[in-house]
Structure 1
Amino acid sequence: AERGAKYPCPVCGQACSAHDFQEKTWRHWNFFQHHCYIHASVPRVKCQEHGVKRVEVPWARKGSAFTLLFEQAALALVWEMSVNAAARIIEITDKRLWRIVEHYVGKAVSPFNLSDIKPVGLDEAASKRGHNYATVFIDTEKRQEPVVFATPGKGKQPLKQFSAFLEAHEGDPANIREAVCDMSPAFLSGVAEELPNAQVTVDRFHIVQTFTKALDEVRKQESRIKPLPKHLRWGVL
């Protein structure tokens, strides 16, 4: 920069003189499979109102050690695979990649307005091998982008977290009129405690599953009393 050049204060935008310069480095997307870095001498300005502040650069977000293009590529990989797998491809630790993901997810979620949400559906799913579960909440009135909230775990705790999430985004747990879920005692008691005005609707899949299991148990009991025709199981089901 030219001697005596002025730079905008990152808080108010006022043109200020440089206080000093700091050397900064950002990881950029690979160049011919080799790590690529951007090095720059970034000015710090001395604002009369806000004190000494470092100027923001256009190629990276504030506080990040990666360029915007690197983060964009990283998020594109995370969309298609696990964070661990994506981190191995771009050769950074999974913790650093999680920080990128959490920043942009938080930025996308922060403007949510859930004041008009009334029916919700919730279910648990195995997130990986072993007893690791995630509970997902959807707005059953939305056909596009219905997912409202997701959190690790199952049972009552996710419902408590969902209730807090509603309140943090202009919603009210008392406004929820219907909760569609399975017949898990933890879900049912959690709905009663956290969504006091919600009527529970058991979804069709779990109703069919319950009848199927009961029917098969009766068939097994009858087969112990007398022989049944071959392949009867599939015919009965």
Structure 2
Amino acid sequence: MDGNQVFILGLGLQSPWKLVGQNLDTSTKPNTLTIDVAADRGGLYPCPCCGKACPAHDFKSLTWRHLNFFQHHCFIAAQVPRTKCEEHGVRRVNVPWAREGSKFTLLFEQALLMLAREMPVKACAEYIGVRDKRIWRVIKHYVGRALLEMDLSELKAIGLDETASKRGHNYVTVFIDMNRTDKPVVFATPGKGKETVKLFKKFIEEHQGKADNILEVVCDMSPAFLAAAKEELPNANVTIDWFHVVQLFTKALDD
């Protein structure tokens, strides 16, 4: 098996896409490997809107960052056609290795998301060698897509607490699903107090949930949280976070 076959199998290239070359540039730091991909200029391509096979109108050279090849930064470069559809006009086709509008391959974005889950985005950016703003755009895209698909119709028990997002009085209030063993975050919003619970109620009702379905709320002893839970989630029993109960007992023993 030669090098071209290795790259073809690794990228999963299928007709009409084909590998036409690769180039390792050792003059850059880090070294960069560019894999050149092309498509048959006389072929038919699916319209990105309706899927109808259409002839190519023109081609444009585009580049995507891919997973590293050993220690080398790797890029895919391709001449990407625009189809000329009778119904939808001239549209750029979608390539199989990247989502529309992204300058990263799907596999590279997957690696970014896995790293961003384990370390700060700034550290992730330094490790990968890209600007942190580009990583944030990837995170926002996939989080936004996940939110659109979120179904909270079975949500019945929540835990909530505020945390400082940075120095000073900057807070984020986080809501989690207490009935899930992995305790996933279902909602987060800037600020703290009663308004955050109102926003949470609005959010779950936009995602097939109902405030009346919430039967348990776990929170601290904040009067604002307690009052908001009673007003916005009328069927919920409130359980005080054990940390704050222990804190009360400890102070009482000290006194």
Give 1:95's match in structure 2, choosing from 117, 133, 143: 133
- Find the aligned partners of 2:177 and 2:151 in 1 and give their Cα distance: 12
TM, length-normalised to structure 2: 0.76
The aligned counterpart of 1:150 is 188
Distance 1:175 1:181 in 2: 17
Q: Could you tell me which of 52, 57, 64 is aligned with 1:26?
A: 64
Gaps of 5+ in 1: 219-237
The residue matched to 2:173 in structure 1 has which SS? Answer: strand
Q: Determine helix, strand or coil for the equivalent of 2:42.
A: coil
- The residue aligned with 2:143 is 105
- State the match for 1:16 in structure 2: 54
- CA distance 1:210–1:22, shift in 2 (3 Å): same
Q: Write the distance in 1 (CA, Å) between the matches of 2:89 and 2:164.
A: 50
Residues 67 and 108, structure 2, Cα contact 8 Å, conserved in 1:
yes
145 and 108 in structure 1: CA distance in 2 versus 1, 3 angstrom threshold: farther
Matching of residues 60-209 of structure 1 within 5 Å? 60-127=98-165, 131-209=169-247
TM score, norm. by length of structure 1: 0.81
Q: Percent identity?
A: 65
The equivalent residue for 2:18 is: none
1:110 is paired with a residue of what secondary structure?
A: helix
Q: Report the count of equivalent residues.
A: 217
Instruction: Give 5+ residue unaligned stretches, structure 2.
Output: 1-38
Kept after mapping to 1: 8 A contact 2:41/2:56: no
Q: In angstroms, what is the RMSD of aligned CA positions? A: 2.2
Q: Specify the alignment match of 1:35 in structure 2.
A: 73
Larger Rg: 1
Q: Secondary structure at the match of 2:243?
A: helix
The alpha-carbon deviation at position 85 of structure 1 amounts to 0.9
| CA apart distance, 1:147 | 3.3
Partners of 1:88 and 1:49 lie apart in 2 by 45
Are 2:76 and 1:59 aligned?
no
Q: Which residue of 2 aligns with 1:229?
A: none
Amino acid at match of 1:24: L
Q: CA deviation at 1:204?
A: 2.7
Q: CA deviation at 1:15?
A: 0.4
Task: Point out the structure with the larger strand share.
Answer: 2
**1:192 to partner: Cα distance:** 3.2
